[in-house]
Amino acid sequence: MLALICGQGALPRLIAQSCTKPPLIACLVQFQPDELPPDVEFRLENLGSFLEQLTEQGITQVCFAGAIRRAEIDLTLIDAATQPLVARIASALAQGDDGALKIVIEIFEQRGFTVVGFDQIAPDLLPPAGVLTARAPQLHDQEDAARAAAVIATISPLDIGQACAVASGHVLAVEAYGGTEWMLHSLTARDEAWPKGGILFKAPKNGQDRRVDLPAIGLATCQQVKQAGLEGIVIHHGGVVVLNLALVIAEANRLGLFIWVREDQL
């Protein structure tokens, strides 16, 4: 039996809809999923008890999906079942995203759960390689994509982000704590001295465990890319989720953008 451990955004609902049998829906109390009522809510302070509860309910597999932020720990709420995990939880909260997720996965696996990637449940969320839109990238866009892929590969060990914007070979912005939306919003104010056009590039970090925290694009991404003055979106084949693919393609066509699912060329 599968437990879907959800964060916010559209992804958990789309995964749940793809399940052949209804999964157990669980979430942190601070980050309830959108349009998906949880069966179980838990706090990090009670993680040990939550793991015991999953076992009692016959859960054998877990899938993580959706956005969360790091929750503050209230030491007064830690229960006896979670006490042995406190040091590892604290270590996870002190690390970057990749390090934190690695510790969380290890905790679940050591309790006997199999952590599965959403692509095993809803493979259609990863689009096929190629150009998906009426507009296609030009040579300069392809060169910018190669530059952007090199940027993500270079910053991967720093665990900073999974996206960047590049125009005419110049790196305009790199995703950091504020996420892709914040990064794109920062480009709406670029002046005449900045290069025109450009691309948004998204890819998982090198060496990232692809069972969790894959980057994603959706309808809002297309609108934000247009507002930022970019010409298209390039995503890494097999490593970036597209939420509501048909609608995203239609929106990109409406806005005159291209979407290119780029195969690894590094």
The C-alpha atoms of residue 266 and residue 207 are separated, in whole angstroms, by 14
What is the domain range of residue 218? 126-262
Q: Are residues 134 and 247 in the same domain?
A: yes
Which of 120, 147, 167 is the endpoint of a domain? 120
pTM: 0.86
Partners of 199 in the β-ladder: 166, 232
The set of residues, in sequence order, having a beta carbon less than 8 Å from that of 177 and lying 6+ positions away, is: none
Compute the distance between CA of residue 66 and CA of residue 77 in angstroms, rounded to an integer. Answer: 25
Interatomic CA distance for residues 172 and 192, integer angstroms: 13
- Of all residues in the chain, the percent with pLDDT exceeding 70 is 97
Number of domain units in the chain: 2
Residue 209 CA to residue 207 CA, distance in Å, equals: 6
Are residues 84 and 151 located together in one domain of the fold?
no
pLDDT at 266: 45
Residues 102 and 130 in one domain: no
Same domain (yes/no): 108, 204: no
pLDDT at position 164 is: 97
Question: At 178, which CATH number?
Answer: 3.40.140.80
Q: Which stretch of DSSP H or E encloses residue 12?
A: helix 11-18
Strands 130-131 and 258-262, sheet pairing: antiparallel
pLDDT value, residue 75: 83
Count Cβ neighbours within 10 Å for each residue of 66-97 and write b for 16 or more, e otherwise: bbbeeeeeeeeebeeebeebbeebeebeeeeb
**CA distance linking residue 64 with residue 109, whole number of Å:** 13
The pLDDT score that the predictor gives to residue 143 is: 97
* Same domain, residue pair 130 and 257: yes
Give the pLDDT of residue 96: 66
Tens of each residue's pLDDT in the chain, 266 residues: 999 999 888 888 989 988 889 999 999 888 888 888 999 999 888 999 999 999 999 999 999 988 777 777 788 888 999 999 888 888 877 766 666 778 888 999 999 999 998 888 888 899 999 999 999 999 999 999 999 999 999 999 888 889 999 999 999 999 988 899 999 999 998 888 899 999 999 999 887 777 877 899 999 999 999 999 999 999 999 999 999 999 999 999 999 999 999 997 54
CATH of the domain at 60: 3.40.50.20
Looking at the fold, whether 182 and 59 belong to one and the same domain comes out as no
98 shares its domain with 59: yes
